[in-house]
Structure 1
Amino acid sequence: MRAAVRTRYGGPAVVRFEDVPDPVPGRGEILVRVHATTVNRTDCAYRSGQPWINRAFCGWPRPRVHVLGSEYAGVVVGIGEDVTSYAVGSRVFGFVDGRPGAHAELVTVAADGLVAPVPEGWDLADAAPGMEGAHYAHAFLRVTGLEPGDRALVHGATGGIGTAAVQLLRAEGVEVTAVCDRLPPGRPDLLNDLGAARVVELQGETGVDSVGSGFDAVLDATGHTSFGAARRLLRPGGSYLSSDLGRGWQNVLLAAAGPVPRALGRRHVRFPLPREDAGLASYLGHLMDRGDYRPVVDRTYSFDELREAYAYVDTGRKVGNVVVVMPEIGRNAG
C-alpha cells in the first residue's frame, strides 16, 4: 500500500510517500480502507517530536512508528479473530494513537477502540474529522461535571478542539462564551452557529480578562493562556483545564495539587486524560447522527498534497479541521 512515512523528526519536508506492506488485522482488530483522513495537532506533534516529551513515547533519537496519521474514515475490508461488532463493508470513522496510522491506504484499528459506525447520510470525508478534537473536548466536559445552566468559557474556540467543545457543551445545556483571536474570514457567525451564547474576538491589547468573570469552567483549547490568567475569570470552586502541559509542566503539577483547593471550594486546575474506547466513539457518533455535533472543516487537500496540509496546520491558523482525501475517492465517497 501507499503510505506517508517519516523516519526522523522535523517539519513537513520529512514526510515522504512509500510503498509499504499491507497491514494485517490481528485478534480484535479490523482492517479499514481509508477514504479520508485529517492533519491535526496530534499528527504535527508526532511528526515534529515537539514538545520534546513526545519523543519519550514516540522513540529516541528517531521515531519507532513511521506511518503517520491519527484520524480516518473508511470502509472495513478485513476482520480479525473475535470481532463481531463490524463486518466487511461497514463504514467507520475513528482515531488511532501510538501505532501505524491513517496517512495510508489501509489501517488496522482495535474494534473496541475509538471507532464507530459513520452516521447514516454522512459522507466519509465529512465524518473523518469527527474524533480527534472531540475526544479531547469530551475529556474537558467529563471531569468538570458541568450541568445545564452552568457557564463555560472556551479559549481558542475556532480550532479543532475548540469548535468541538462549543458543540459538546451546548448539547449538555451549558452556556458557552467562545473566545478567539480572530473570527474566520467569511464566517463571522461560525461560533454562534455552533451554539455559543456569546462570542469575544480578542484584538490588539484586549486580553482574556476583559471577558468577564463567574465562569464555572475555563477550557483552554490551544494552550495559549494559563491558570494565572484564567483564575480571575472563574467563580470560587471553578475549574481551569488546558489541552497543553503548560510552561514547565505547570498544568500537570497544578492538577496534581488540585484535590486540595477543590475540596476547599477554591479555584483549581484539572488536566484530564481523554478516553479512547468504543463507548465514547458511539456517543460522538450519536451526537453527529442527531445533529448536535458536526466537525468544522477548514480546507480539504488531496493525499498527494499532504505536506502542504501539514504546512498549513503548522501555521496555527486553521479553523476547525483539515481533511485529506485519498486518491480516486473524492469528497462524496461512501
Structure 2
Amino acid sequence: MASSHNVFSARPDDIRSLPRTLLCGVGRTAAQLAMTLGAKVTGSCRGTAMSEARSLGLARVVDYQQLNVDSIKHQFDVVFDTAGTLSIKEGRALLKPGGVVLDISPSPAKLFGIIFSARHKMVIGKPTPDLLTKVADMVAVGKLQPAIGKTVSLSDAIPALTALEQHGTPKGKLVITWN
C-alpha cells in the first residue's frame, strides 16, 4: 500500500484537477487510486504485466522497455514516476504545459532538478491514521481492490520474507497477520 501513501501525498488536486496521468511502473494500488480521483491513467510496465495492467481499466498501457517518449510527448498533466526510471528531461518532455512530474525515488541528479523546478516534485508518503482509514474505506466498498499474493501469521513472517527476498516479487502483496 506504499503507493496509496504516495498518491494521496501527491495532493489530490495534482491528480484530480489534471485528468491525464502517466504512471511509470504501474502499481495496482496507485492506478486504482488515481482513477478513483478522476484521472485518465496511462501506465507503463513490463511486457509480461500488460494484460494485468489493462484489466485495471487503464486508458492505455505501454511496455516500458519499448517506451518512446517522442511518441507520447506533451500528453500528460501528471507523470507519476513510481519506478524512478525516467530522466528529468524525459519526464518533462511528457508533460503538457503546466503539468508536473511526481517522483518517489529520485536519483541525486533528480534531487538537484527538483530543487530548481516547480514542475518536478518529490513525493514522500506519510501513513497517517486518516489516510489509512480512507484506504480501508475504499477497500471496504470495492473502490480499491488490492492483490494479496500470500497471507502468513507473524510466526511465519521470517521464512515468508526470506522466500520473498530469494524468489522476487510475488503476484500481489505479502500480508502478515497478528495472531
TM > 0.5: yes
Using the TM superposition, give the Cα deviation of residue 324 of structure 1 relative to its aligned residue in structure 2, in angstroms: 4.6
Residues of 1 paired with 2:134 and 2:86: CA distance? 29
Deviation at 1:210, TM superposition (A): 5.2
Equivalent residue number for residue 82 of structure 2: 221
Query: What residue ranges of structure 1 are gaps of 5+ in the alignment?
Result: 1-130, 260-267, 330-334
Matching residue of 1:332: none
| Partner SS for 1:276 | coil
Secondary structure of residue in 2 paired with 1:176: strand
2:48 pairs with 1:183: yes
TM (norm. structure 1) is 0.47
Matched, 1:139 2:1: no
Alignment of 1:228-307 (within 5 A): 228-246=89-107, 249-259=108-118, 268-299=119-150, 302-303=156-157, 304-307=159-162
Distance 1:148 1:292 in 2: 20
Partners of 1:276 and 1:165 in 2: CA distance? 15
Asked whether the 8 Å contact 1:306–1:324 carries over to 2, the reply is no
Which of residues 21, 27, 39 is equivalent to 1:174?
Answer: 39
2:29 is aligned to: 164
Q: C-alpha distance in 1, partners of 2:137/2:167?
A: 31
Give the direction of change, closer, same or farther, for the CA distance of 1:288–1:143 in structure 2 (3 Å limit). closer
Task: Show the counterpart of 2:60.
Answer: 198
Higher helix share: 2
| Aligned-partner SS, 1:152 | strand
**Cα distance, 1:288–1:211 mapped onto 2, change above 3 Å:** farther
Q: TM-score, normalised by structure 2?
A: 0.82
Alignment of 1:8-87 (within 5 A): none
Partners of 1:283 and 1:155 in 2: CA distance? 24
**One-letter amino acid matched to 1:253:** F
Superimposed CA distance per residue, residues 185-224 of structure 1 (whole angstroms, 9 cap, x where no aligned partner): xxx5322332311111234xx2341551320011111112
Identity %: 24
Q: Which residue in 1 is equivalent to 2:174?
A: 322
Given that 1:230 and 1:240 are in contact with CA atoms closer than 8 Å, whether structure 2 keeps it comes out as yes
User: In 1, are the aligned partners of 2:18 and 2:77 still within 8 Å (CA)?
Assistant: no
Cα pair 1:144 1:217 within 8 Å, conserved = no
Whether 1:151 aligns to 2:48 is no
Assess, with a 3 A threshold, how the Cα gap between structure 1 residues 181 and 145 changes in structure 2: closer, same or farther.
Answer: same
Measured in 1, the distance between the counterparts of 2:30 and 2:79 equals 11
Taking a change above 3 Å as real, the CA distance of residues 286 and 173 of structure 1, as seen in their structure-2 partners, is same
Task: Answer whether contact 2:149 2:172 (CA < 8 A) is retained.
Answer: yes
- CA distance in 2: counterparts of 1:156 and 1:299, whole angstroms: 22
Structure 2 CA distance for partners of 1:275 and 1:324, relative to 1, 3 Å = closer
RMSD: 2.5
Q: Which has the larger radius of gyration?
A: 1
Following TM superposition, by how much is the alpha carbon of 1:322 offset from its aligned partner in structure 2, in angstroms?
A: 3.2
Distance across 2 between alignment mates of 1:149 and 1:242: 16
Distance in 1 (alpha carbons) for counterparts of 2:92 and 2:17: 22
Give 3-state SS (helix, strand or coil) of 1:218's partner. strand
